[in-house]
Structure 1
Amino acid sequence: MTVYDKTKKYDGMVFFKRPKDTLNYLYLDKVNASTLLIYDLLCDYYNSEKGYAYPSMDTLALDSGMTRQAVGTHVKVLHEYGLVKIFVEKRKGNKKGEGYKYKPQLPLSREELFKRYPEARKRYEKKANKIKDRYEKPEIVEVKIGDIRF
């Protein structure tokens, strides 16, 4: 195994590049790491010449290791929180020809996200306070001989 160094280039390897502000969305009730993986995939499939991404649900399921149903749920969550706009291509007479087109959107900043979704701010602050409490300078107390265990 080789240590990954983000400052180096690796021949034949492609990496996702994600706006760091998407991590703030993890404090929303319906968003988890799998949701952000689907966002990453949609961003990766985005075709700037066409102006959208158009992977099938089967492709997203295969790439993510999820079921089609799970992918669909995550896509709906991304749409609900404004990270992806969804369009459909309607073809005359052939309903099987319909396909979803996705336009990934830049995430809100932490400040904007927390203003729009106060419950996310509460979750973030609760977690931050828990971490802060863990690292606060502990009170040093004398131990009685009967309390010592090795």
Structure 2
Amino acid sequence: MTTYNLNTSRNGNFTKTDNALFLLYTRLPDFKADHAMLYTILTHFHNAEYGYAFPTVWELALRLNCSTKKVSRMKSVLVKYGLVDIRQLPGRNNDVYYLKPPITDEVSFYAAHPEAREYYEKQLKASEADRRRSADNLVSYRQEKVEKQPTFTYSDGESVPLVDVF
């Protein structure tokens, strides 16, 4: 079996994606991992000579394994957050995409998208509550398991847990 080492397997068959898409932009209420993937795919299709990407909506839908309607909705989110400008060139019947770099600084990001802070803080609180519930459930489960564990009581009254041998 061949193993893949990201640090040494640089054959050019990859597309770099800015971590800000996953670390900051997913703090926006309507920006999901699919939107980051669309941006990454547009980056893959970017033609440096022309200065834009020009895949068809059908190509994008195929790459994202979704419908063309979903691609259209996802494109509007990228436009909304300033990650892409979409235009149609004369004589072409598909869109062209001018990619803009994502904001990578948290302070600048929140200045540009203040709604992200409130949404993210709400998500953090919900996540922490889930984590606490999970930890509490684990403690309860362990206590129940100990309480339900069969014991052997010696004639002097001392009880010891019975342990399964097999």
Fold in common (TM above 0.5): yes
Separation in 2, partners of 1:10, 1:17 = 12
- Which aligned pairs between 1:87-126 and structure 2 lie closer than 5 A? 87-91=87-91, 97-109=92-104, 110-126=106-122
What's the % identity of the aligned pairs? 27
Unaligned runs of 5+ in 1: 92-96, 139-143
Provide the alpha-carbon RMSD of the alignment.
2.8
User: After alignment, is 73-82 or 118-127 more displaced?
Assistant: 118-127
Deviation at 1:5, TM superposition (A): 2.8
Separation in 2, partners of 1:88, 1:107 = 22
Deviation at 1:34, TM superposition (A): 0.9
- Which aligned pairs between 1:124-135 and structure 2 lie closer than 5 A? 124-129=120-125, 134=131
Deviation at 1:126, TM superposition (A): 3.3
SS of aligned partner of 1:86: strand
Separation in 2, partners of 1:65, 1:44 = 16
Q: 1:74 aligns to what?
A: 74
Separation in 1, partners of 2:126, 2:4 = 31
Q: 1:19 aligns to what?
A: 18
Question: Aligned partner of 2:108: which letter?
Answer: E
TM-score (norm 2): 0.70
Flag the structure with larger Rg.
Answer: 2
Separation in 2, partners of 1:4, 1:130 = 36
Aligned residues: 138
For the 8 Å contact 2:27–2:117, the answer to whether it is kept is yes
Unaligned runs of 5+ in 2: 136-142, 150-166
Higher RCO (CA 8 Å, separation ≥ 6 residues): 1
TM-score (norm 1): 0.77
